[in-house]
Structure 1
């Protein structure tokens, strides 16, 4: 694209994106923060939940994994529902149910009640989250879209990393016996404020272009994808609760079901708009971006899992102290994501590759810091390398999301974003299982070696980030263009 055309488009684009649209984005990001926070904030609350309601180890596992499983199950169908029926209504339903489920979780009197509330929470979060990327595609174009995705990336990074800090602070304030309830109650005022704002600020339904195919919700596709996703996630989220190797037989069964889903989508797409238009994967920016996201989230999410366990159980940090120790990653990630969103339209995939390289180096630096200092001051020793890794992470998540969705038409933005986020959830579950296995191989015995377990776990996470770096480099050297084209984004 020549510079004259870019310049001539920029001024109208800036006039088009009103203050109201940025306020609408703030509503979306706050809701995303709330739902994604609940992925990580519960980690530090588990001891409080155990003492508060006498939850079993299996029950605690389902408090964590049930949310992730339900969340991942509905992402693509709810994204499709927003595409077809209108995103604002779907967003508000998800927000209302999430808020109500948070109240039920906080009021739980036993583990069955709490697990059921967490499952409903997960479904509601999975309904809400894909609407956000759809709204960004709908409301913003060109460089403004990159900035919006940059803010979304900052939200993802900060919510994941700040969860342990906020959870620790709430438990410190309200006590170890009942403090866990406020981990859920904190969502109530946020949800109640956001509901009227969402109704007033979020845009209505997009008029769909004529595509020559009929639009519906593809119920057979929904069932096949749901069954395949559950079968794929279950052995990972239940890895420690289901002993033996039999659970891994679910993975080839899942792949078989997902293969049937792909065949059905090709057949269904001849006369209807399918749940997932597989032609999206013919675009290198989308196919490689989804794969990169799966690999990166496998390493990214597992960092906080093993760090929290190491600091609380191994170093005997309080929940608040553990959260403060992880904060440098959140600070670096949040700041860099906002910057990355602004410059990704100029730099493209090389920016993601740079960020991944920084994450790998930062994690290896954290391993070195733990190796040299495994005393009570280890939280201070790891601050600088975690900050460096966090900056790198901020240059990965939002730029990759911008590039991956850059050529997706607006009318498919919800389902396409749902596929991307499902890949993130599958990656997170698989990464926690893989990194956790390495970690527990050193700490799950009568003489736990916490330092060695953390070091091996972080090396494994760095290896997953390195694999994502390989994918990014493939896209850099083989892709037709390293940066999304503003003109194509505007017309998408």
Structure 2
């Protein structure tokens, strides 16, 4: 079998590719920011737009749903037709949808535009990881993923603070609109820069590289069946919703069978199942899923506790988690520099730091009065944030390190779909623990402790997977990393 090596239409200089990375990170920042910035704007939507509780729920959960559903198909589309084109189309759609959300005249229109916005964000995300794989190799790739990890940590944690600042500045009447309008200047600037800076790599010329509509349908239906009861856990009362979970498992099983059939027939599948034969990819994806189940929920229950029990404003609650965001950015940049030297050991250290930080927050809740929580929790927030930073970016680098570049978009979509499902599952489980304790008239401080202990449980599962992978590597190390020539395969 003869392999041909396609080259970019024009060389990408070192300076140009780092600027192109900046464009990708700007787009990633606003798309991930919108997963959390809207939460503090919900009361403003209720007052200014008359949004019901059901509409508010769909503003939050609808974005997560369509974001997760779009990731793998969009990543595959970028692999086939060019990541630059897919990135720019997704970014343009996200910017337009954000503007439409801000201009929405009714709750129903807001929900529809929010669903479109989420799908557009899901279109952008896998192109970012694919472009990093395409533009960088070796230690530069690790540094690039380190910067991406900083963006993930900061955007997720800083959302409540940014939303609180906007609501505080504009007012509760129309403040929610500016939560969406803030994306407009960033989106336009990133799009203009992307037109000039993103590399024009050629699309695949392999005739077998066709889109797989049945695979998209099976995967999308399976992910939807898994995520819908999780993101609607508080709104859909009754146990009937959990019947969707086995339905989702069956649909994903059918997807697996279909994709294997596509491979046997020599057709390009939506997801190359041989990726899961790589220990680094499989365990990395599981670590990411379970880690995000614990990591994302911290901001959820702490924000609820501070605003509903401790009497903090949205802005004050956002400031309280800011140390975590800043420390996470520092840890991610550090992790990107050290991962090539220390490998999975760095992930083990990072997960241990997150668990230690969360246990420290629990100790603060037990020992410190509510009104002093923000100051007292600063040190464990910093410990947990640094641990988070040196978990996310090194794990992403190690998970994707042996993925062929021509499959980078779909592989990145699989990894990020796991993150979305993990986040939804974590919030559903931790939220149930938290609200169940309050429903039985338990103290809010105990509810927060139980919720955070549940988050620690998810983190410890991720830590166990990382330790297991570390032990296996010591017995039978992975094959050498891809050389530059293989990494540039298109």
User: TM-score interval w.r.t. the shorter chain?
Assistant: over 0.9
Shift of 1:335: 0.3
- Note if 1:108 corresponds to 2:104: yes
Asked if the contact 2:275/2:281 (under 8 Å) is kept, the reply is: yes
Distance 1:291 1:482 in 2: 19
Deviation sequence 1:141-178 (CA, Å, 0-9, x none): 00000000000000000000010111100011001221
Structure 2: gaps of 5 or more residues:
1-10
> Could you tell me which of 155, 162, 168 is aligned with 1:159?
155
Deviations 1:375-395 (A, max 9, x none): 211111111101100000001
Secondary structure class of the residue paired with 1:125:
helix
Which string of whole-angstrom CA distances, capped at 9 and with x for unpartnered residues, describes residues 386-414 of structure 1? 11000000010000000000000000000
Which residue of the partner structure matches residue 246 of structure 1?
240
Could you tell me how far 1:109 is from its partner in structure 2? 2.1
- Going from structure 1 to structure 2, the CA distance change for 1:388 and 1:489 (only over 3 Å counts) comes to farther
1:70 corresponds to which residue? 66
Decide whether aligned partners of structure 1 residues 44 and 288 sit closer, same or farther in structure 2, where only a CA change above 3 A counts.
same
Q: Tell me the residue number matched to 1:373.
A: 368
Give the deviation of 1:208 after TM superposition: 4.4
> Which residue does 2:223 correspond to in 1?
229
Residue 474 (structure 2) pairs with residue 474 (structure 1): no
1:13-53 CA-partner distances (Å, limit 9, x unpaired): xx986100000000000000000000011111111111111
Which shows bigger deviation, 18-27 or 452-461?
452-461
CA distance in 2, matches of 1:417, 1:143: 19
The runs of at least 4 consecutive aligned structure 1 residues that moved more than 3 Å come to 206-210, 480-490
Instruction: Tell me the SS of whatever aligns to 1:302.
Output: helix
Give the one of 250, 271, 280 matched to 2:275. Answer: 280
Q: 1:354 aligns with which of 337, 341, 349?
A: 349
Deviation at 1:243, TM superposition (A): 1.1
Query: What is the TM-score when the length of structure 2 is the normalising length?
Result: 0.94
**Does 2:386 match 1:391?**
yes
| Residue 57 of structure 1 pairs with residue 53 of structure 2 | yes
Aligned to 1:216: 210
- Confirm or deny: 8 A CA contact 2:63 2:114 kept in the other structure: yes
For the residues of structure 2 that align with 1:207 and 1:187, how far apart are their CA atoms?
29
Q: Please give the residue correspondences for 1:287-298 in structure 2 after superposition, counting only pairs within 5 Å.
A: 287-298=282-293
Q: Which residue does the alignment assign to 1:439?
A: 434
* Cα distance in 1 between the residues matched to 2:463 and 2:95: 38
User: C-alpha displacement at 1:297, in angstroms?
Assistant: 0.3
CA distance in 1, matches of 2:201, 2:248: 34
Q: Corresponding residue for 2:170? A: 174
Match of 1:145 in 2: 141
**What TM-score do you get using the length of structure 1 for normalisation?**
0.94
**Following the alignment from structure 2 to structure 1, what is the Cα–Cα distance between the partners of residues 390 and 366?**
27
One of 44, 47, 69 as aligned partner of 2:43? 47
**SS in structure 1 at match of 2:371:** coil
Change (3 A) 1:358 1:448: same
Shift of 1:112: 0.7
**Cα separation, 2, equivalents of 1:17 and 1:460:** 47
Secondary structure at the counterpart of residue 118 of structure 1: helix
Instruction: Tell me, in whole angstroms, the C-alpha distance in 1 between the residues paired with 2:480 and 2:300.
Output: 37
Match of 1:405 in 2: 400
Tell me the CA shift for residue 374 of structure 1. 3.5
Pairs within 5 Å for 1:447-466: 447=441, 449-466=443-460
**Which of residues 317, 322, 339 in structure 1 aligns to 2:334?**
339
- Matching of residue 430 in structure 1 with residue 428 in structure 2: no
Distance in 2, matches of 1:99 and 1:482, equals 45
Contact 2:134 2:405 in 1 (8 A): yes
Q: Is the 8 A contact 1:344 1:483 kept in 2?
A: no
Distance (Å, rounded) in 1 between the aligned partners of 2:286 and 2:452 = 21
Paired with 1:457 and 1:146, the residues of 2 have a C-alpha distance of 34
Aligned twin of 2:180: 184
On the 8 A contact 1:406/1:484 being kept in 2, the answer is: no
Aligned to 2:130, which of 131, 134, 149? 134
The match for 1:316 is 311
